[in-house]
Structures are given as structure tokens and as C-alpha cells.
Amino acid sequence: MLAIDTIKNGNDLNLQLESTLQELPLWSVYVEVAHPAKDLNILFEQQPLLPGIILTCNQEYVGMISRQRFFEHMSRPYSFALFAKRPTENLLKFLDLEVCIISEDTSIVEAIQLALQRPSQLAYEPILVKTKLGNYKLLDFHQLLLAYSQIQVLTLAQLEQVEEQSRIAKAGFRNLKNNYTRLLQNDKMAALGQLVAGIAHEINNPVSFIAGNLVHALNYSQDLLDLVSLYQKYYPEPAAEIQDAIADIELEFLRDDFLDLLKSMKVGTERIHEIVLALRNFSRLDESEKKTVDIHEGIDSTLLLLQSRLENQQTGQLITVVKEYEKLPLVECYPGLLNQAFMNILANAIDAIFNNYDYSILPSSEPKSPLIQIRTESIDDNHIIIRIADNGLGIPKDMQKRLFDPFFTTKSIGKGTGLSLSISYQIVVDKHGGQLQCLSVVGKGTEFIITIPIHLDS
């Protein structure tokens, strides 16, 4: 008549999201309906946690009486006297209870939904679990709730895990994008560096040739002009044809101008020579490894390359560059890369001054003479600072945090890549273990502060 399974403590269950009713503590307490109802009373008193009793007739399931329904009914006047000694069948027929039957392979999540669909007066009744072999067992509704709450905790934990994984994946993607950008830019810079170095080399030969010969040209012309003077001194009255030729070529003017002209050609070639030097300095292909260099030289050669951009082609407006260089120690760095960062930041300063950036809200700012200030200082024994400030249009607060994002640009479509600052950031921060900060006030200007250690961490 009676069989009781060992009941596991619901809290010790090792549940998964897809756990089924089989994994929960189930009661197998059966009573034949021919037995008197008082037997049920005895069983309920012996097993205080027993949620209900399965009733059978010749070992076939016929119904179920829960602890709550049993005592509720038996506590009514006369009920006990009326039913206690009679076969339980009478009580079952009288109560005519609806039972919620769920198959044992139903998931706990599904089962709780089915159980909660019951009418409210039956909401806390135990659930009859049907096994694959066609047997029945009882599940305390409280146990089902408990299991469900455990699964919910599990779901939340897994959700957090998924969120964490997606965060890691996103960060990975960002890294990948950054690396790709860097690789692309490195490739571009290497190619550009090669090109620049090649051109510099090609220009250098003929320019050295001109510069070398100009010295002699100057001397020879001076000699020839002296000789002409000598002739004029000793032959003040030359033939008419010579006098005509002197008048035609305006000898006096030629004498003054010719030497000036040659001198300015010399200055010109010296300038080309400087630019070639700057180009070589900038590309520094042969110096892609670290070197100990004078940072000021790098800034100066970068400035020289940007010289032509300091004048606005349309308005003729000219940017003044003020340099305040402190004495700096030599810095161990990747000079080619650092020059690239200086170049990017200086080019932006020029763009900002000449209004090449398009911000939708632009405060009307006082007209001011365009200025770029470059200041350097060493802050301690191990670090130097380079400040590059412009008095351009400034950067709105909400955009300041996006400056170093790859592809962030406020230039009109097709004009800017939005890569320069992110590359500069990588060069200063990743490559040199330094810092790159930006201070800006809209309408007043912007300052980029580069802090780098004077020794590179290997």
C-alpha cells in the first residue's frame, strides 16, 4: 500500500537551465482506495512534509489527495466521523479534485508555467508527475518554486557571462580594428617613407651639383664684372658699338642685379638642401628602430615640411609659429614615428586655424592673428613634455572624448581620414609609453600635450 522514495533536499540540487522534473525530489506514496480514509491521516502525521497521497485501485492510478485538501475537509464538522472508517474512494468521489499532471521529462521552466495556469484555489496543490513507465509521483509545488528560483539565478549568472563574453568580443573587435588601422597606416607610412627617401635622394644629387657650381659661378661672374670695370677704367671711351651694347644691356643695373640674382639662387639651393634634409629626417626609414635623438631637430624638420601650409592660399593669411624650447636631454625613441605624430598634430592645428574643420555650432570668435606655439620642457629626470597649441576654433566638449577614435573626423566627406590623431595616440602611448592629452576651449584654441619618457621600456 505504501512506498516512499528518499527525498533529496531541494537546496542540494545541481540544476541546469534545461533540468526536468525528474531531477526534483518526488514522493511516491500510494494508498489503495479500498483502505479507510483514516490511513491517510496516519500517513500524513508520520510524514509531516508529505504533500499528498496518490490513490490507486488494484495498483492503477485513480486520483490524488493533497495534505491541504485532506485536512481542510476532515476538519469540517462530521466529516471525520463520516469518512474516516469508510474506503477512501468515498472521500475521493466526494472531493472530486482536479489534478495537474505533467510528464517527468518536462523542463522545470515549462512546468512552472503549466502549474501557474491552474485556477487560484488549486495554485498550491502538489503536481502529479507522470514517469515514462506510466507511474505517478508527487511533486510539492514549493519544491518546484524553489527549483525555478535556482534556475533564475543560474539564468542571470549565464546572462552576465554572455554579456561579459560579448564585451570581451567587442573589445577584441575594437583591438582588431585598431591593429588593422595601425598596420594599414604603418604600411602606408613605410611606403610613403620609401617614396620620400627616394625623392630626397634623387633631388639631392642635382641640387648638390647646382649648389657646388654656384659658388664657382659667383666667383667667375665677380671676376668678369671686375674685368669689365677694369676695361671701363682704362678705356673710358670705347667704340660706338660697345657704347650701344652697354646701353642695351643696362650694364650698371646688370652689374648690381647679376650678383644678387646669383646670391638668391644660392639661398634657394640651400633651402632645397634643407628641405631634402628634412625629408630624409622625416622619413628616417633607416631609423625604424629606436635611436637617441634631439627632439627639437625632429620638430624643426617637421615644421619645415609644413612651411608651405602655414600660408592660406586663398586669403594669404600667415600663421606665426612661436617656439619656446627648453634645454632637453636626448630622447631614446622611434624618431620617424614621433615626427609623424608631430606632423599630424601640427597639420591639425593648421586645419583648425584655417577653419578646415566643420563644427555645426561655432561661436563667433574675435579675429586674431593666427598662432601656433610649440613649447618643450623636461618635467623630471625621466620625462619631457611637448606642447603644441593653436588659437584656432577649439573643440566642443562632447567631441573631445572622441578625438582619438579611429575614423573620427569633422572634415567634410572625402577630405579627412580621421586617422591622424588615433595614429598619433598609438605612437605616443603604445609605442613610447607616453601620454597624449588634449585641452581645448571653443573659440579660443586647442593644446595637445605630449609627454614621453626619455628612455624606452624594452
Ligand X SMILES: Nc1ncnc2c1ncn2[C@@H]1O[C@H](COP(=O)(O)OP(=O)(O)OP(=O)(O)O)[C@@H](O)[C@H]1O
Q: Which residues contact 235 (CB under 8 A, 6 or more apart)?
A: none
The three cell numbers locating residue 356: 578646415
Q: Does 420 bind Mg ion (CB under 5 A)?
A: yes
Contact 290, 334 (CB under 8 A): yes
Q: Per-residue DSSP letters for 40-83?
A: HHHHHHH-TT--EEEEEETTEEEEEEEHHHHHHHHTSTTHHHHH
Query: For ligand X, which residue has the nearest CB?
Result: 416
Interface with Mg ion by CB under 5 A: which range of 86-94, 148-156, 214-222, 413-421?
413-421
Closest residue by Cα to residue 272 from 365, 215, 204? 204
Instruction: Answer with the entry of Mg ion, ligand X, none that 425 interacts with (C-beta below 5 to 8 A by kind).
Output: none
> How is residue 9 annotated by DSSP?
P
User: Which CB sits closer to ligand X, 20 or 446?
Assistant: 446
Residue 438, H or E segment = strand 435-441
Q: Does 283 bind Mg ion (CB under 5 A)?
A: no
Cα separation, 71 vs 44, in Å, equals 9
Interface with Mg ion by CB under 5 A: which range of 268-276, 280-288, 420-428, 449-457?
420-428
Q: Does 301 bind ligand X (CB under 6 A)?
A: no
Min separation Cβ 248 and ligand X, Å: 54
Instruction: Answer with the entry of Mg ion, ligand X, none that 15 interacts with (C-beta below 5 to 8 A by kind).
Output: none
User: What's the count of helices (H) and strands (E) in the chain, helices before strands?
Assistant: 12, 13
Q: Does 391 bind Mg ion (CB under 5 A)?
A: no
Closest residue by Cα to residue 196 from 110, 285, 264, 302? 285
| Beta-strand relationship, 320-325 and 291-293 | unpaired
Q: Which residue has the cell 605616443?
A: 428
Min separation Cβ 400 and ligand X, Å: 9
User: Which CB sits closer to Mg ion, 2 or 347?
Assistant: 347
Min separation Cβ 355 and ligand X, Å: 10
Binding-site member from 408, 439, 442, 449 for ligand X (CB under 6 A): 408
Cα separation, 394 vs 269, in Å, equals 38
Instruction: Answer with the entry of Mg ion, ligand X, none that 352 interacts with (C-beta below 5 to 8 A by kind).
Output: ligand X
User: Which CB sits closer to ligand X, 392 or 434?
Assistant: 392
Q: Which residue has the cell 573620427?
A: 408
Q: Does 181 bind ligand X (CB under 6 A)?
A: no
Contact 329, 366 (CB under 8 A): no
Residue 155, H or E segment = helix 141-234
Closest residue by Cα to residue 447 from 330, 334, 360, 324? 324
The three cell numbers locating residue 412: 567634410
Binding-site member from 15, 386, 421, 428 for ligand X (CB under 6 A): 421
User: Which CB sits closer to Mg ion, 91 or 346?
Assistant: 346
Min separation Cβ 344 and ligand X, Å: 6
User: Which CB sits closer to Mg ion, 40 or 349?
Assistant: 349
The three cell numbers locating residue 10: 531541494
What residues numbered 339-398 form the site for ligand X, per CB under 6 A? 344, 348-349, 351-352, 357, 390, 392, 395
Binding-site member from 47, 409, 455, 456 for ligand X (CB under 6 A): 409
Interface with Mg ion by CB under 5 A: which range of 7-15, 42-50, 186-194, 417-425?
417-425
Closest residue by Cα to residue 439 from 407, 391, 383? 391
The three cell numbers locating residue 7: 527525498
State the virtual CA torsion across 235, 239, 240, 241 in degrees, nearest 10. -110
Instruction: Answer with the entry of Mg ion, ligand X, none that 403 interacts with (C-beta below 5 to 8 A by kind).
Output: ligand X
Residues paired with 60 in a beta bridge = 57
Binding-site member from 143, 339, 340, 348 for Mg ion (CB under 5 A): 348
Min separation Cβ 356 and Mg ion, Å: 9
Binding-site member from 403, 427, 436, 450 for ligand X (CB under 6 A): 403
Binding-site member from 187, 263, 411, 430 for ligand X (CB under 6 A): 411
| Count of residues engaged in binding Mg ion, rule: CB under 5 A | 2
Q: Does 418 bind ligand X (CB under 6 A)?
A: yes
Instruction: Answer with the entry of ligand X, Mg ion, none that 410 interacts with (C-beta below 5 to 8 A by kind).
Output: ligand X
Looking at residue 377, its amino acid is E
Cα–Cα distances (Å) from 228 to 92, 217, 254, 256, 330, in that order, read 143, 16, 12, 13, 54
User: Which CB sits closer to ligand X, 108 or 374?
Assistant: 374
Q: Can you give the binding site for ligand X, defined by CB under 6 A?
A: 344, 348-349, 351-352, 357, 390, 392, 395, 403, 408-411, 416-421, 446
Q: Can you give the binding site for Mg ion, defined by CB under 5 A?
A: 348, 420
